[in-house]
Amino acid sequence: MIINPYVYAGGFDPDAQAFFTASGLTGATNLTAINQLVVDLKTYGIWTKMKAIYPFVGGTAALHKWNLKDPRDLDAAYRLVFNGGMTHSSNGILFGGTNGYCDTKLNMSTNYAVNDSTHISFYNRISAGASFSAEMGVFDGSIVIQLYVRRSDFSNQTFYNVNTGSGLTFVDSNGAAFYIANRSGTTMNGFRNLVKTVTQTSAAGTRPSLNMFIGNLNVNGFPNPGLYSSRQCAFASIGDGLTDTEAGNFYLAVQAFNTSLSRQV
């Protein structure tokens, strides 16, 4: 008999339990969904690649701020600091497109050992319409790590960039999906759900020494006034680069998580 080491008889996974204890999250559906997400990420071998996981579960700012990977109420644990206007609900965070964004406190240079292994992800629930906005990103004037979903000035294309001065785009007819911008070595690619939509070979530049923002692009320490997101985010993450198989399994885990909360797209 094969025993799954991530199934805990009579209780929750310890990392899930630490999150519940710190955040005060309640509700059987919420607790089961988070626990299964942790178990799935560990089973797929992805958990150790994550630096920050934002599941946006519980429906309030007080519950949405926590980093599942390190649930301490500290800047050093990358719990979110909210700025401006946004709407918190059981479906995640709806950015208002005016002045709302999250500071992760995760510096994309000092918190990484190498430049050629990075991913960021964003689960968007808004299907209709293009947006002149950035969903996540940092930019120091030279090197960029960023993710735009159906940005209007790119002819309604989704835009990915990880540690280069130029990025990848693809025509995206529906922005409701789970997006991953990813770099592993000299390979940079973008995923939409289970599909690798774009890829290129390029050398990695030095990561900007800036905190990753969600809901806007961090440009030398400040949000860009013209790039506030209007999307609804049901999950986001920051971590090391993923293989194609890991990216596919990551989608399966996150989609199962959001399906268990009845907010999947």
The more confidently predicted of residues 194 and 164 is: 194
Token pair in block for residue 132: 């002149």
| Residue pair 213/146 in contact by the 8 Å Cβ criterion | no
What mean pLDDT is predicted for residues 193-202? 95
Q: Is the pLDDT of residue 4 over 70?
A: no
- At residue 128, the pLDDT reads 65
Q: Is the pLDDT of residue 72 over 60?
A: yes
State the average pLDDT for the chain.
93
How far is residue 259's CA from residue 265's CA, in Å, rounded to a whole number? 8
- At residue 113, the pLDDT reads 73
- At residue 87, the pLDDT reads 98
Element (H, E) at 253: helix 244-260
- At residue 93, the pLDDT reads 98
Instruction: Please report which confidence band the pLDDT of residue 30 belongs to, taking 50, 70 and 90 as the band edges.
Output: very high
3-class secondary-structure state, position 221 = coil
142-192 confidence digits (pLDDT tens): 999 999 998 887 788 899 999 988 889 999 988 999 999 999 999 999 999
The more confidently predicted of residues 22 and 4 is: 22
Per-domain residue ranges for the chain? 14-260
Sort residue 128 into left (φ over 0), alpha (ψ -120 to 50) or beta: beta
Token pair in block for residue 33: 């969904």
* CATH code of the domain made up of 14-260: 2.60.120.200
In whole angstroms, what separates CA 157 from the centre of its chain?
A: 19
pTM of the model: 0.94
What mean pLDDT is predicted for residues 72-82? 98
Beta partners for residue 53, in sequence order: 237
